[in-house]
A and B are shown apart, each in its own frame.
Chain A
Amino acid sequence: MQHLNDEDLIAHHYRDTDSSEHLRACADCRAQYETLRSVLALVDAVPVPERDPEQIWNRLRWRLERRRRRTWQWMMSAAAVLAIVFVAGAWWREGQRTADSGQRVASNPATQQLSNPTTQQPNNPGSNKVLVYVVTDHLDAAERVLAEVANADPKKGLDVGEETKRAEDLVDANRIYRQTAARRGDARIAALLSDIEPILVELSHSGAKLSPDELASMQKRIDSKNLLFKMRVMSAQGEGQQHNQNVLASQHLNSL
């Protein structure tokens, strides 16, 4: 009779094969198998350390919370980056479109005359939106200066040291925006900036204090052309566009 080898005994132990018949008949193999069983029983007899599931959970919970916080921070950072990229992209696209249309106008002899503000080119709604949007901040700053003047008591005159400095800063910007608006054919913006400019220039050249007469004269020019009202309307339009841009940006983010 051929004896079982180690592999046969191990396979029998794990029930991969069945050598029961041979083991019943062969005392040598039965002894070998008993030794094997005793060895494996010894391995089984080693006690496994115990762990309290609650302690495991407490340690795990802390790590899960830290992970959730990190995930949330990462999502916030990603959303911020996406928002910046989206807004920058929108600006760049508008800028490209504006530059392209400007180049087309400048390079075409037939349309070069349109750059002259006296011969208006047809309005380009896209570029004008950008212009209003950009001019809004400037109009807000100018409105604050002019409002100081308009609301002052004409009998007392006005200390304009601070306004003079702010007017100096605004004059150059106003000139650039006015020329740009004229070149783009936006007569409304150009006209408004044109009305504001002499007042800003005068204010920037005035001394530290406006006399009651100087103040009354300036207030009269501001009132006669409804400058504050027109500036507020224009600013409101620019803010409306800014709001729409923000809504579009948030809709874009929500759709991601």
Chain B
Amino acid sequence: MEMTDVAAVSRARDGDAEAFRLLVERHSRAIFRVAWRMTGNEHDADDVVQETFLRAYRQIDRFEERANFSTWLHRIAINCSLDLLRARGRHDKQYGGDVDVLDPSSDAPEPDRIAISAELQQHVAAAMKRLSDNERTAFVLRHFEGMPVEEIGKTLGIQVNATKHTIFRAVRKLRDALEPFVRSTQCNT
């Protein structure tokens, strides 16, 4: 029978490295996903994943067994990502590495699922780059993580109304940036 998270945490607290390994292997993919979406590049996301599990290991005594380990870990990952972004002052820097913003009206190659996917990646990365740290974090937490507005507000340290407006601004910016490509894609298909 597979060990539950709570049982693994309990054994990890007693110094069982294999139990902690189980937790890492079970949750690292999801943590990498949220870290990659928040930081926008793989290298930073790798660092966030490492830091997240190191912090979790150090603070494992603080984890309450009635809580959900995945939620607790995600919160640590979000804080690590925010720390990294703040430390680097990333709002002026590129999100997602070097991105060439393509003109949607240019001569697109033959509709090819893989080619479109790669192209869309660049467009989305360019659009995400235009978001501020708070906008990107609020959007990722709301859109991908399904986190309630109140909780996002607590994470970012802002009021509920301000959180809602941050999410609205993020979505509006994405729509303005990506709408032409949506139409172009719809025309091509």
Which among A45-53, A89-97, A124-132, A192-200 touches the partner chain? A45-53
Query: CB within 8 A of A64: which of B28, B33, B54?
Result: B54
Instruction: Give how many A-B residue pairs fall within 8 Å (CB-CB).
Output: 96
Which among B3-11, B45-53, B61-69, B80-88 touches the partner chain? B45-53
Q: Mark A179-218, 1 if CB is under 8 A from B, else 0.
A: 0000000000000000000000000000000000000000
Asked if B71 is at the interface of the complex by the 8 Å CB criterion, the answer is no
Q: Interface centre among B28, B37, B54, by most A CB within 10 Å? A: B28
Given A36-B171, A38-B182, A38-B186 in contact, is the A47-B54 Cβ separation under 8 Å? no
Query: CB within 8 A of B174: which of A39, A49, A64, A67?
Result: A39
Q: Which residues of B contact A110 (CB under 8 A)?
A: none
**Is A57 a contact of B25 with CB atoms below 8 Å?**
yes
Q: Mark A59-78, 1 if CB is under 8 A from B, else 0.
A: 11101100100000000000
Among residues of B, the one whose C-beta sits closest to the C-beta of A45 is B120
Asked if B24 is at the interface of the complex by the 8 Å CB criterion, the answer is yes
B62-115 residues at the A interface, CB under 8 angstroms: none
| Chain B residues with a Cβ closer than 8 Å to the other chain, count | 43
Per the bound structure, the CA–CA distance linking A35 and B117 in Å amounts to 19
**Is A46 a contact of B172 with CB atoms below 8 Å?**
no
A16-47 residues at the B interface, CB under 8 angstroms: 16, 35-36, 38-40, 42-43, 45-47
B5-61 residues at the A interface, CB under 8 angstroms: 17, 20-21, 24-26, 28-29, 32-33, 36-37, 42, 45-46, 49-50, 53-54, 57
**Is B53 a contact of A60 with CB atoms below 8 Å?**
yes
Secondary structure type dominating chain A contacts: helix
Per the bound structure, the CA–CA distance linking A39 and B139 in Å amounts to 13
Q: Mark A138-155, 1 if CB is under 8 A from B, else 0.
A: 000000000000000000
**Is A48 a contact of B143 with CB atoms below 8 Å?**
no
Enumerate 14 A-B pairs (CB-CB under 8 Å) in ascending A order: A6-B175, A10-B172, A11-B164, A14-B143, A35-B175, A38-B182, A38-B186, A39-B175, A39-B178, A40-B143, A48-B37, A54-B25, A56-B24, A60-B24
